[in-house]
Amino acid sequence: MRRPWIVTGGAGFIGFHVCRRLVAEGIDVVALDNLSPYYDPGLKKARLAELINHPCFTFEHADLADECSVAPLFARYEPEVVIHLAAQAGVRYSIEDPRSYVRSNVVGTLNVLEECRRRSVEHLVYASSSSVYGAGSTPFSVHGGADHPLNVYASTKRSTELLAHSYSNIYELPTTGLRFFTVYGPWGRPDMAYFAFATAMVERRPIVVYGSGAQRRDFTYVDDVVEGIVRVAGTPATCDPAWSTTHPDPATSFAPYRIYNIGHGEQVSIDHLIELLEWNLGVTAIREERPAEPGDAKATHADVVDLEQAIGLLPSTSIDQGLAAFTDWFRGYRG
């Protein structure tokens, strides 16, 4: 019988959508999540309620930073594939509480890597972030450097990539890191700008705009991201025979290791995001402008050529389509 897949962060935004996609395809899924109160746990429980009665779905409450909690679960389920999406998210909060990010993102990932190599997992796919590019120039390419992060969150995500490479080298564990670019959509995270703006707008409160609103982001619709994750998960990383010590490619390796961007490949300004939310919600935003915060990137933009070549996927959902889908869900969720 086919072994189950483990999805960490299964009650989170992207994790929920991945779990829903996998069980719809008949794959047995074990979702691990600690239901962190970083944002409303009620939303996480509402996501789980959508899945909990599916015969292919199992939920386990677990803190990945606690080795004694993680090891028995991996021993019980002996997963075939692990999709590691659990993390402490948020750029601004990482400046306030850096220790929680190291514990969740670095220690938690280390524990997952340890269990993957012990259980002979066929492929570990893990979430990285566009924030690792930091002060780099756009469009961000996986073949360029990512050694000047601008905040603690980005540093922890870059650390997980380096840890993964070590395990790919030492244990020949196939690992693939996916650098997500501003994922949005239904069931999203309330702390992200589009969700926070929508909430404030319908409650007739000011939206807080950091900087001028001219900052540009590569907004990527969640269904496109899920498609990428599922396709990549079914294509375990392999050694790159062309890899050279003379011109080392950071996206590949002599070990079974890969890095890909998952982004839409286009930029949208925060001002335009607000205009689209106003149109879809039928509400005019009340803006409260504040200075840009340290650690915020001025622009993100994904080079997705490698992703398209590897799995034949080019994320295609426009910001107009994606925000319309989000606001439709948002109205229903808010009642």
Active site amino acids = 153
Task: Determine the residue type at 68.
Answer: C
CA distances to 138, 173, 270, 296, 301 from 194, in Å: 22, 37, 9, 16, 18
As a whole number of angstroms, the distance between CA 148 and CA 107 comes to 21
Three-state SS for 23?
helix
| Rounded CA Rg of the chain | 19
Residues 6+ apart with CB under 8 A from 24: none
User: What number of other Cβ atoms are within 10 A of residue 216's Cβ?
Assistant: 19
Ordered DSSP codes for 228-249: HHHHHHTS-----TT--SSS--
Q: Are strands 5-8 and 29-33 parallel, antiparallel or unpaired?
A: parallel
If we measure between CA atoms, which residue out of 210, 101, 184 comes closest to residue 149? Answer: 101
CA distances from 323 to 276, 280, 295, 299 (A): 7, 8, 26, 20
Query: In 78-139, where does DSSP find H-type helix?
Result: 91-96, 98-101, 108-118
Q: In what order do the strands lie in the sheet with 57-61?
A: 57-61, 29-33, 5-8, 81-84, 123-129, 175-180, 257-262
Q: What H or E segment, with its residue span, contains residue 6? A: strand 5-8
